[in-house]
């Protein structure tokens, strides 16, 4: 970006987004860049650069190639963010990986890798950014999952990592609330991103339709739906320690599609009670 263009956006607050090269993090970055200057953080340098290019003209974004499991490179990136932008007002920790398997079939390597990215990555992101959020009375938002509030079959490591993110961020809400720093978690169901596409591509036929049938709204989320919730949490003034379900209603209770044959067969009567 040219010096003049950077100057045009110099009065905007600053947001750092991890996992910003794809899916939810990309959508969050491209949404927030309308009002914030954005540090686009991803281990995939080319993907981060592509998001910066897509944000061109709308606002000021810079790319940082960082693996969130490596504290020193995260720390170094935050140092450079502060040099470039001068402040940090909001963090959206979106970096994450999927992993399948029960406790019997998950290898110890997959377990460690999943927790390293999904849990330790959020911990380290918070650890290196909270001192700067304290200075601006800013906000920290992590993307967990509906697998952070309910069990998920055949996803032992992923489910454990996402439940732990809820605990971590709720604790942050208590630790840093008096400093004016708000900490919240977003819990999406399936979202149309490369991650979800990859899961369904590897799954038996009918899996995608099966999961769609469990959603009262009848569709998976778009990444932009999640970005709208992140924006709400960033802009909110009093939301702290909240786990925000954005799953089309699928964790609201047991759901069965009213059009499904089961309902027609049982009708309105369920015997004597």
Ligand X SMILES: NC(=O)c1ccc[n+]([C@@H]2O[C@H](COP(=O)([O-])OP(=O)(O)OC[C@H]3O[C@@H](n4cnc5c(N)ncnc54)[C@H](O)[C@@H]3O)[C@@H](O)[C@H]2O)c1
Q: Give the SS3 label for residue 97.
A: coil
| Packing angle, helices 23-32 and 45-54, rounded to 10 | 30
Q: Which of 94, 155, 164, 234 binds ligand X (CB under 6 A)?
A: 94
> CB-based burial of residue 273 (10 Å sphere; 0-12 exposed, 13-18 middle, 19+ buried)?
exposed
Nearest distance from C-beta of residue 266 to ligand X, angstroms:
32
Q: By CB under 6 A, which span of 56-64, 80-88, 94-102, 229-237 interacts with ligand X?
A: 94-102
Catalytic site includes residue 255: no
Q: Give the shortest CB-246-to-ligand X separation in angstroms.
A: 9
Q: Return the residue of 19, 59, 100, 248 that touches ligand X, per CB under 6 A.
A: 19
Distance, CA of 90 to CA of 158 (rounded, Å):
25
Asked if residue 68 binds ligand X (CB under 6 A), the reply is: yes
Which of 1, 35, 49, 67 contacts ligand X by CB under 6 A? 67
Question: Residue 241 is inside which H or E element, if any?
Answer: none
Q: For the CB of residue 90, give the shortest distance to ligand X in the complex, in Å.
A: 17
State the alpha helices, DSSP H only, in the chain.
3-8, 23-32, 45-54, 71-85, 108-115, 121-136, 156-176, 194-202, 207-213, 223-235, 261-266
Site for ligand X contains 121 (CB under 6 A): yes
Binds ligand X by CB under 6 A, chosen from 15, 17, 42, 119:
42
Q: Convert 194-216 to b/e letters by CB count within 10 Å (16 or more is b).
A: ebbeebeeeeeeeebeebbebbe
CA separation for the pair 150, 167 (Å, rounded): 14
Question: Which of 14/93 has CB closer to ligand X?
Answer: 93
Rule CB under 6 A: choose which of 123, 176, 190, 244 binds ligand X: 190
Mask of contacts with ligand X, 192-231, x by CB under 6 A? -xxxx-----------------------------------
List 1, 13, 35, 44, residue binding ligand X (CB under 6 A) = 44
Taking contact as CB under 6 A, which single stretch among the options 7-15, 39-47, 167-175, 232-240 is the one that binds ligand X?
39-47
Nearest to 150 by CA among 253, 47, 65: 253
| From candidates 9, 12, 17, 25, binder to ligand X by CB under 6 A | 25
Query: Is position 81 an interface residue for ligand X (rule: CB under 6 A)?
Result: no
Cα 137 from chain centroid (whole Å): 21
Least distance from C-beta 56 to ligand X, angstroms? 19
Cα 67 from chain centre: 16
Q: Which residue has the tokens 């974004």?
A: 61
Residues lying near ligand X in the complex (CB under 6 A) are found at 18-19, 21-25, 42-44, 47, 67-69, 94-97, 117, 121, 143, 145, 188, 190-191, 193-196
Active-site annotation, residues: 158
């Amino acid at each position: 970006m040219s010096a003049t263009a950077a100057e045009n956006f110099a009065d905007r607050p600053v947001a750092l987004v991890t996992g910003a090269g794809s899916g939810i993090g990309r959508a969050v970055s491209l949404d927030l860049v309308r009002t914030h200057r954005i540090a686009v953080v991803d281990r995939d340098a080319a993907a981060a650069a592509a998001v910066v290019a897509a944000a061109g003209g709308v606002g000021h974004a810079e790319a940082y190639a960082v693996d969130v499991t490596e504290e020193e490179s995260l720390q170094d990136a935050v140092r450079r963010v502060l040099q470039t932008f001068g402040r940090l007002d909001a963090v959206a920790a979106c970096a994450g990986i999927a992993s399948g398997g029960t406790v019997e079939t998950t290898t110890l390597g997959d377990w460690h890798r999943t927790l390293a990215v999904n849990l330790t990555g959020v911990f380290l992101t918070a650890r290196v950014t909270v001192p700067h959020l304290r200075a601006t009375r800013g906000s920290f938002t992590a993307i967990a999952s509906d697998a952070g509030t309910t069990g998920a079959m055949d996803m032992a490591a992923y489910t454990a990592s996402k439940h732990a993110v809820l605990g971590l961020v709720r604790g942050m809400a208590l630790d840093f609330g008096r400093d004016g720093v708000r900490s919240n978690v977003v819990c999406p169901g399936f979202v149309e991103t490369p991650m979800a596409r990859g899961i369904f591509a590897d799954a038996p036929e009918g899996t995608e339709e099966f999961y769609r049938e469990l959603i009262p709204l009848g569709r998976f989320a778009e990444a932009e739906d999640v970005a709208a919730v992140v924006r709400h949490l960033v802009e909110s003034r009093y939301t702290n320690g909240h786990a925000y379900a954005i799953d089309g209603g699928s964790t609201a209770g047991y759901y069965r599609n009213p059009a499904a044959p089961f309902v027609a067969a049982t009708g309105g009567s369920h015997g004597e009670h």
